[in-house]
Amino acid sequence: MGKKTKIGLAAAAVGAAAWAGSKAFTEPQTRPQKAVLDYKHPIVLAHRGGSSLAPEHTMAAFDRAAELGVHGFEIDIRMTNDEEILVFHDEFVDRTSGSAGRVAEMTLEELRELDLGYHFVDGKGENSYRGKGEKVVLLRELLEKFPQMYINIDIKDAPDTYEGSLVPSKLWRLIESLGAEDRVVVTSFYDEQIDRFNLYAQNRVALGAGENEVRKAFTSFNSQFGHLYAPRADVVQIPVKHSVFRLDSARFIAFLDRLNVPVHYWVIDNKEAMEKLINAGAQGIITDRPDIAIELISALEEKRQ
């Protein structure tokens, strides 16, 4: 046996010993149960209210999704110039008159002038919402109108902006003032924003996973040291694929489930794709077509009974 071979075998033995040792003495660090995530069946979250059925982030969309029987909404928030927390996705807004502006540069009064139904076109190529008075919605208004709903709140303002620096604290104060701690999840693509928010919330609100946390979870799952992964999120919201990596395997879902971290997939509008994910163990479907998702979930529940 050559010297290099001996060294290679020794290194492999050390690695195996390290793995075995860590496996033997490490207990999985599961997340404590959060009330908003304590459900016994897959749930449906209407993406921006269900933006294929009505203009996104409008009361028309939220009302329709609620009538369909969704379990909650997946929404985005941004801060206005007068420091109101708005339910809105895009950084820039179309004033429907050819000019545009940033949400952060506009007051709530200015934003209320927008016709959010102006550009909406349904599946039949028709627009039945233009000029019908669909206006921007404040997060406070949404939380107050739908006290029974699970609301997934995605912070869109970047942490290195003025508005982004204010959102975490203002969001926490709003949630606390409404007693909504047990019915919301706060998340962001920016892990820093989630961490900032939790400095105020102190784990009293369920947290989603930012991009870095998802990457960490997936890397741990694919390594020999997945048992060392300690999740910092209570729920993971992901697409089925990122770059060349598939994120929808039953094994990955089960890996997170063992840590008490449910997995929700976005944005899923196809019935067959929804059913495949649910059969793989997904516990939430985020969709622009809540009508399709609710029908499917109801059918699957009937089969199980």
Q: Which of the following is catalytic: 41, 57, 71, 89?
A: 89
- In order of 54, 85, 127, the CA distances from 123 in angstroms are 10, 31, 10
Q: At what angle do helices 211-221 and 250-257 cross, to 10 degrees?
A: 110
71 is catalytic: no
For 268, how many CA atoms within 13 A lie in the half-sphere containing its CB? 28
Classify residue 85 as exposed, middle or buried by CB count within 10 Å of its CB (0-12, 13-18, 19+). Answer: buried
Q: Which of the following is catalytic: 47, 57, 71, 264?
A: 47
Render 70-118 in DSSP notation, one character per residue: -SEEEEEEEE-TT--EEE---SEEE-SSS-EEEGGGS-HHHHTT--TTS
89 is catalytic: yes
Our measurement of the distance from residue 51's CA atom to the centroid of its chain's CA atoms, rounded to an integer in Å, reads: 16
Q: Which residues form the catalytic set?
A: 47, 89
